[in-house]
Structure 1
Amino acid sequence: MASVNMADVKRLRELTAAGMMDCKKALEESEGDFDKAVDILRVKGAKDVGKREARTASNGLIAVKHEGDSLAALLELNCETDFVAKGERFQELAARVVAHVLATRPSDVPSLLDSELDGKTVKEHLDEANAALGEKIEVRRFVVLDGGFVVSYMHKTDPQLPPAVGVLVQLDGPNAELGKDIAQHAAAMAPKYLSPNSVPADVIEKERTVFEQMTREEGKPEAAIGKIVDGRINGWYKDFTLLEQAFVKDNKKTVGKLAAEAGVKVLAFVRYKVGQA
């Protein structure tokens, strides 16, 4: 069996994104023939696609695509390691898929995977990337906001990696500066809902039950429990709803008040962070 040097192993890994040991074995099998080693890894990758189904794809990136000022799509594409996430092929795939989402507006992830992109289904494109990169590649979620004035903000948690947080904010009228401020705020403060009215009833009921139990365990008078729980629910709104949160650049104002002073209404927002709900 031919011996290989680490420089060739490293070069093969950078080219294919395959694991170090896989690269070493491929070079040994090809007796040092670099091009043949690439082919060996491609074949191995295709055979291993099915084996990766149960593996966890918790890295990746958030991609965005705009069309004018009133239409944008946001996509989370996952892989297994940050090494693949920062690779050109993975990022190009994300750009193609998010553009396809914007153009076709599929109803859900299964519909997206079954849709045709450049003569193949999106699922086939993902499987090809899976085979070539040696990792599980999957679309986790996407959204399209259409209408009004849509602003995006993409945040890198590591300068060496693609954006891991992406936010879309939809306003009822043009205001790029306000939209960016609110999008940056949402990226930093991670609100879950737009406003108190947008929180599902079952979520509030669950929180109310927890607060009631907490209040009783604190020994508060029974007659005061209802009022105390209402206050805690209001505090929960300030933590988890965008419009009730204190604006990160001026905590004397809520985001809702900031928008009202600008004469603009926030219609919707979406915040994705890689690997989080």
Structure 2
Amino acid sequence: MLNRLGLIRNIPRSFVRCYTTEVKPNLKLLKELRKETEVSMSKAKEALVKNNNDYAKALAWLSADAQISGAKKAQKVAGRTAGEGLIATASVEVPVSNGFKSKSTIIELNCETDFVSRNEVFNNLASRIAATSLFMHDKPVANSNKFIKSIPIDVLLKEPLMPHPNEENLSNDFAKTVEETIVETIGKLGEKISLRRAAIVTEGASACYVHGGDATSGKIGGIAVLQPKKVALSELDETATATLSKTARQIARQVVGLNPSYLNATDIPEEERQSNTNPEEFEETHVLNNQKFLMNPNLTVAEYVAQASDGSEIVDFIRWEVGEGIEKKENDFANEVLSAARAN
């Protein structure tokens, strides 16, 4: 026993110290890491300690860790109902020959509770997905009179997540896809999050409007697409283009507020037309062009558009509401939390 103690005493102190001294996180790097990643203090410390205060390696470690924890959480919540969330929109002016044209998108991102839908992280994610969809393929649909077309969700999920056009500080980190960021967000917020649908305007002058949130996301969203009758869109001067865009936004507001089902009376299915005892009243309620314009009930929507934008017309519109068509289980999330608490 004494011989063993003697051997331990004879070990150089520098050799012992290298095995017992723990790396301490650099406070400046810790602050920067938390600001950039929004992770907890303990997780940021762990990342720096494990990577010997190498900031780049710590970031990579956090990203990999977030994917692992997010994937585990996503698997656990996969069977839950995500009927809450946000409708997010994005618009941008893109250059074309002889001028510019507007380009607009709309997406629905779902979560389980209204509480999470109001979370800043979730809101930012929805807005960035809408911005990402602006870069999707946008050729006109062949043999179709539709100016708005659906974006395949499986394709959008694989796209690099872009910053929103309205963001002041644009991020340069486009390494993560939409899907990877959703998985990470599930790990952060602890709820099922799913991208349900997305659509893009393929041509025409378009504008978005959302209600029940901020300027780009809310509970109800809509897009209106207008087209000049007399000239090509590219031939309009700057003033006429601005007027058309402003008019399109007013119509998008109308769409969100009065929820029309059809653009023109001729779009109403014959069976539905015959089942209504008062066709004129039905058309005034459900046909966008026949509705009374919200800002001036003396005009129909079609009359307002023609007057406001020198004979232009509405060629398409879309209106989405969060969770429409999703069968929600009452108290689904609350019951699961209660069950988990009882199990512990």
1:161-180, aligned counterparts within 5 Å?
Answer: 162-173=217-228, 174=241, 175-180=244-249
Structure 2 residue identity aligned to 1:110: D
Displacement, 1:124?
A: 2.4
Identity of aligned residues (%): 32
Counterpart of 2:152? 108
Deviation at 1:135, TM superposition (A): 0.7
AA in 2 matched with 1:189: L
C-alpha separation between the residues in 1 aligned to 2:204 and 2:122? 32
* CA-CA distance at 1:266 after TM superposition: 0.8
Runs of at least 5 residues in structure 2 that lack an aligned partner in the other structure: 1-37, 47-64, 94-100, 138-149, 162-173, 229-240, 326-344
Q: Which amino acid aligns with 1:80?
A: E
Aligned equivalents of 2:109, 2:125: Cα separation in 1: 9
2:83 aligned to which of 58, 77, 100: 58
Give the drift of 1:190.
Answer: 0.9
Q: Provide the rounded CA distance (Å) in 2 between the counterparts of 1:184 and 1:250.
A: 13
Structure 1 segments unaligned to the other structure (5+ residues): 1-14, 17-32, 212-228
Q: Report what 2:250 is aligned to.
A: 181
Counting only pairs closer than 5 Å after superposition, residues 75-86 of structure 1 correspond to structure 2 as 75-86=107-118
Which of residues 136, 139, 149 in structure 1 aligns to 2:195?
139
Distance 1:179 1:54, change over 3 A: same
Q: Which amino acid aligns with 2:225?
A: Q
Shift of 1:46: 4.0
Q: Give the direction of change, closer, same or farther, for the CA distance of 1:89–1:164 in structure 2 (3 Å limit).
A: same
Which one-letter code corresponds to 1:48 in the other structure? Answer: K
Corresponding residue for residue 218 of structure 1: none
Q: Are residue 88 (structure 1) and residue 113 (structure 2) matched? A: no
Instruction: Check 1:36–1:176 CA distance in 2 against 1; reply closer, same or farther (3 A cut).
Output: closer
SS at match of 1:49: helix
Q: Distance in 2 between matches of 1:144 and 1:153?
A: 14
Task: Encode CA deviations 1:81-108: one digit per residue, 9 max, x unaligned.
Answer: 2222222221221222112111123841
- TM-score, with structure 2 as normaliser: 0.56
TM-score (norm 1): 0.68
For the pair 1:270 / 2:318, whether they are aligned, the reply is yes
Which structure would you say has the larger Rg?
2
Query: Alpha-carbon deviation of 1:260?
Result: 2.5
1:134 positional shift? 0.5
Shift of 1:181: 2.2
Q: Which amino acid is 1:264 matched to?
A: S
Higher helix share: 1
- Counting matched residue pairs gives 221
